[in-house]
Amino acid sequence: MDTFDCLIVGTGPAGLGAAFHLSDRHPGIKILLLDKEGMTTGGLRNDCKMNFTFPIGFPREYWDRKKADEMITLVKEHLHPRIMPKHNIAIYKQRAQRLGVELIEIKQSHLGTDGGIVLINELMAQIQTRDIEVSLRETMKDIDAERYVAITDKREISYKKLILAPGRQGFSFLQTIMDKLDIPYVDNIVDIGVRIETREEYYPIVRDYYDPKFLFPDRARTFCTNSGKAFVVKEKYQSQSGTHYFSVNGHAFSEKRNGIGLVNFALLKTVGLTQPLASGHTYGEMLGQVVMLMGGGKPIMQRVGDFRLGKRSKEESFNKDLYDFEPTLRSSTPGDISLAMPAKILRVIWKSMKLLDTIVPGVMHPSTIIYYPEIKLYANKPQFLDDYFQAAEDVYAIGDGAGTSRGIIAAWASGIRAAIGILNDF
Ligand SMILES: Cc1cc2nc3c(=O)[nH]c(=O)nc-3n(C[C@H](O)[C@H](O)[C@H](O)COP(=O)(O)OP(=O)(O)OC[C@H]3O[C@@H](n4cnc5c(N)ncnc54)[C@H](O)[C@@H]3O)c2cc1C
């Protein structure tokens, strides 16, 4: 049987962060990086905005500024960010402050979806110069923890340390392993919201600050702003019951590509559930299903003008008559978001949009499109045994899948933290 000091499942930023740190600090260590996909590194492939400022992407239950800053310094050694400049934001900050809204200034670099692929190729070329084996198109299915053996669709692999970094889409896999190993977990947080798409001239702040992070009252925030050659996309998710639903998202290409004059960004509200409804995951999935029903199997889109008047959008709302741009996600259904989104969430989102329109006047132009749903599920969070994300003896769980991160840089940083814990034993 193949035997490794450390088996890492997932070649996203969390897995890579762990692999690089282990091999940097302990060059002789025998590592296998495993991924079920053909092209490695899940999230670096999508838009690749990298945020180097706490708390963006760093869940506060696991991170404080000091710890995050220590890890960010190490992450930079491999990702060499080119931080984008910001201009003229004092006026926006001042307006925000007056309304009880915070505009956080963050250090961010943006490679774009095309630039992300270049970075992935560079990182994989570096991996090949090290003592790290990579196996793509191999899926870990099960574990025999007593024998320290991982079972994949191709073979059994023996490990001394196992790092699980399967990302958000690896939720069901991680859950299977947690159930099998009796790892206790909490699952009560979910982000629900919309994606806004508008003309760049109605949201001109993006010319000065590529991805402005506004924090509104009631745990609402802007997230993942894209401009230039920017598109709204839909992602297909499978629920625990086997049915499918869509969440919208957005991405942009690098500045090298010609822009299309549109901006998109998410406006999300964090929902924390308490007893007796404890599962944020199930709740998010059920909301996704409601939209499948209302949108005929597609996400819903609505013009702000229609929303304001309390009427659904129809095909005519998108016919270039009154309104002046086409949606980039054509495969969504013109409809009525307020029929599908719970009132408490809708109220907060709408209030946040009005606040945003006061800070950046124009964003609520009648032609602006609201897409629903954008759902961020945070997998059930294991209760860790130590500060290094050890979930069971010699089994570590990191990255977005385990809830230790919500973005590329924090995922990479959580990989480093697990690696530090592992190195204590070598
Ligand atoms: C469209 C989109 C755009 C995004 N844009 C940004 C952005 O601009 N900036 C940002 O900071 N974040 C962004 N994110 C979020 C970011 O991608 C994640 O935060 C990050 O990738 C999490 O890293 P991870 O290593 O935990 O998981 P992932 O990157 O998801 O990697 C997990 C890997 O594990 C593999 N895997 C899963 N299960 C198994 C298994 N059983 N066996 C073998 N392999 C398995 C998967 O194939 C995958 O390659 C975006 C996400 C999406 C979907």
CATH 3.50.50.60 matches 2-96+107-186+381-423: yes
Out of 52, 224, 234, give the residue to mutate to test ligand 1, the one with the largest number of ligand atoms within 8 Å of its CB: 224
Q: How far is the CA of 336 from the centre of ligand 1 (A)?
A: 31
- Calpha distance 106→3 (Å, rounded): 42
Closest CA to 376 of 10, 59, 41, 52: 59
Distance CA 398, CA 15 (A): 8
Token pair, residue 259, equals 């822009």
- 352: its two tokens: 């946040």
**Which pLDDT score, from 0 to 100, does residue 349 have?**
98
Tokens of 280: 């944020």
For the Cβ of 17 lying below 6 angstroms from any atom of ligand 1, the answer is: no
pLDDT of residue 40: 67
- b/e code 387-422 from CB counts within 10 Å (16+ = b): ebbbbbebbbbbbbbbbbbbbbbbbbbbbbbbbbbb
Residue 48 Cβ contacting ligand 1 at under 6 Å: yes
Contact 377, 249 (CB under 8 A): no
Q: Which atom of ligand 1 is nearest to the CA of 138?
A: 43
pLDDT, position 384: 96
Centre of ligand 1 to C-alpha 273, Å, is: 25
The pLDDT of residue 46 is 75
The residue ranges of every structural domain in the chain are 2-96+107-186+381-423, 189-377
For residue 425, the number of C-alpha atoms closer than 13 Å in the C-beta half-sphere is 13
pLDDT tens per residue, the chain (426 residues)?
Answer: 899 999 999 999 999 999 999 999 999 899 999 999 987 666 688 778 899 999 889 998 899 999 999 999 999 999 988 888 888 899 999 999 999 999 998 898 988 888 888 999 999 999 989 889 999 999 999 999 999 999 999 999 999 999 999 998 887 799 889 999 999 988 778 899 999 999 999 999 999 999 999 999 999 999 999 998 899 999 998 887 889 999 999 988 876 667 889 999 999 999 988 877 668 888 999 999 999 999 999 999 999 999 999 999 998 888 766 667 899 999 999 999 999 999 999 999 999 999 999 999 999 999 999 999 999 887 678 999 999 999 999 999 999 989 899 899 999 999 999 999 999 988
pLDDT at 4: 97
Does the CB atom of residue 36 touch ligand 1 within 6 A? Answer: yes
Residue nearest to atom 31 of ligand 1 (CA): 12
What confidence score (pLDDT) does residue 320 get?
66
What is the per-residue pLDDT for 282? 87
